[in-house]
Structure 1
Amino acid sequence: MQQFDVTAHNYDFVFKDSFNLFKNDIADFLEVELPGIASYLETEFAKIETNLELLDLNFMLKDGSILHLEEEAEISVSDLIRFASYDLKLYNRYRDRVRTIVLCIKGYTDSTAGFNCGSLGYNSTVVDMSKKDG
């Protein structure tokens, strides 16, 4: 069989074109169980921004993990996505486990808050500050 030397730069093009061409056979080729592909989604997210992201508090704990504290009046899915983004940045910088605790001022019924978007799941601990005296 003839060998081809594909540069790293061009590998993405070959990869994308191959999978686009054989989209209905991807699951069989990869030997994984997947539903059929319904449509293509964008693969390039052009975004140029400069902003200062201010996390409430971060600490290095004695076990080497990172404590990320956030204070919120209420917790929304958008907040959790933002916290997950912060945690990924912390993990990328320090490569240590990140524990996020959200201090909820207006009250929260569960002791955890998170989401699951497939390959990535996010969980944080919630402390209901409305029940704290002082």
Structure 2
Amino acid sequence: MHMIADLLAGFPNFLLYFSVSIIFVLAFKFIYVKLTPYDEWHLIKEEKNTAAAVALSGAFLGYCLAIAGAATNSVNIVDFMVWGVVAMLAQIIAFGIVRFILLPKVSERIENDEVPAGIVLAGVSVSVGVLNAACMTY
């Protein structure tokens, strides 16, 4: 019985970090889709837009990679939360870089269901998430 208690000793911290992570992912979803000039959920649900689905999935994956890095390297929950916000800002900046520098018509192209545009946006989002996670080390 003592062994099981030892195995579950970290459960409260897991629950705390996982709960905060889910809250962060939901906050990211609401903030990210408000900042993009198109309505991802409408495009995905109503118009079956593959480009929007790919782009949004990449943004989620990139953000989750970054907050996973933050959770791994944080010294406490406040530290984790600060880096979770930094990760969110990095993903928003990544979208801006694609929209205004790399592929200026990305928004129109995603609305037109041009899958290559969605793939580029997803690729940049995931790449920024990986870099973000790697840089969150002490």
Bigger strand share:
1
Q: Over alpha carbons, which structure has the higher Rg?
A: 1
Would you call these one fold, judging by a TM-score over 0.5? no
Bigger helix share:
2
Between 1 and 2, higher relative CO (CA 8 Å, sep ≥ 6) is seen in: 2
